[in-house]
Amino acid sequence: MKYLFIYSTKAGKNDFHKFHLRIKEFFTENNLIRDCQFVFTEDENHAKRAAREFARENTEGIVYACGGDGTLSEIANVLKNTNIALGLIPMGTANDFSKIFEYENFTLENLIDPKIKKIDTIEINDTHTSINIASTGLDAQVLEYAREYAKKYKFLGKRIYDLATLKVLFNNKGQYLKMTIDDKKVEGHYTLCAFCNGSYYGGGFNPAPNSILNDGKMEIVLAEYLTVPEIIRLIPKYKKGQIFSEEKIKTFRAEKVKIELEEEINLNIDGELLKDREFNLKINRENLNLAILAELKNKEQIIE
């Protein structure tokens, strides 16, 4: 087995070099160091290039994404429809995809011969892939403003998200969407829409606590237009995955969704923003090999 460790140096505040020394020592002790490659990312697309080259040179192997959700998604875009497996060592800020696993019990021994399971991904406009959650509305707007403010007000650090949230709430208007969910027509005025393969996103929000990674369906959560007081009341429930009894929350399970808009908006795809007036999302069934490094908290989230 060949291994590639990609350290995303832009993710989180972890000491990647210290962890790298632990990895090298462990694989040396197990006489496997000759089978390992190590990459520290130097630019925006470095992780993709490294994963692509590894997949080109090897018929089997595992790429370990040592970083956050963005790094995981970038590499998943490259490794889908290949024989190379993708494993996650969560070292980012939010690490949302990892929250369905018991990573607190992770050990280096798990890296040598992990269980490999095929999971689904969500294909978007034939150009982007989500391994976790795509969304539009309130959260995508916060991300858009936060990135804008990050360039202007670097001194604020993570407080840019608070500033961005205040702006979105102050200008709360929702958005009018037309959707075709499989063959069902749905339209209305929405505050937020989430299209889920995984469960968690946005730093711990949980729109799909019972999502299954390989069932050929995405979980869809639609929040009809909410006033600011309603948003504030629902935030704790949204974090806990307990919003489904709310009158304005609608849920679906589907293989494909078409979203049509009157003007361009952003779709948040695992932390990357894509702007368009139309989005076509579809489940690609079991097209990514996932290396399981920790037990699932809910064993039913992957079908054996």
pLDDT at 152: 83
Per-residue HEC secondary structure of 278-291 comes to EEEEEEEEEEEEEE
For CATH 2.60.200.40, list the domain ranges present in the chain. Answer: 130-284
Give the type of residue at 146. Answer: A
3-class state of residue 21 by DSSP: helix
Using CA atoms, how far residue 172 sits from 139, 148, 273, in Å, is: 12, 18, 20
Beta-bridged to residue 86, according to DSSP, are 63, 290
CATH classification number, 2-113, choose in 3.40.50.300, 3.40.50.10330, 3.40.50.1010, 1.10.3720.10: 3.40.50.10330
pTM of the model: 0.92
226-274 pLDDT, tens digit per residue, is: 999 999 999 899 999 999 999 999 999 999 999 999 899 999 999 899 9
Using CA atoms, how far residue 210 sits from 48, 196, 286, 301, in Å, is: 30, 10, 18, 7
pLDDT at 11: 61
- Whole-angstrom Cα distance, residue 23 to residue 17? 10
pLDDT at 12: 56
| CATH class, range 130-284 | mainly beta
90 CB-near residues (< 8 Å, 6+ apart): 68, 97, 98, 103
pLDDT at 293: 97
Q: Which residues of the chain have pLDDT under 70?
A: 11-14, 158
For CATH 3.40.50.10330, list the domain ranges present in the chain. Answer: 2-113
* Phi-psi sector, 232: left (phi>0), alpha (psi -120 to 50), beta: alpha
Annotate 276-287 with b (16+ C-beta within 10 A) or e (fewer).
Answer: eeebebbbbebb
Q: Where does residue 2 rank: exposed (0-12), middle (13-18), buried (19+ CB within 10 A)? A: middle
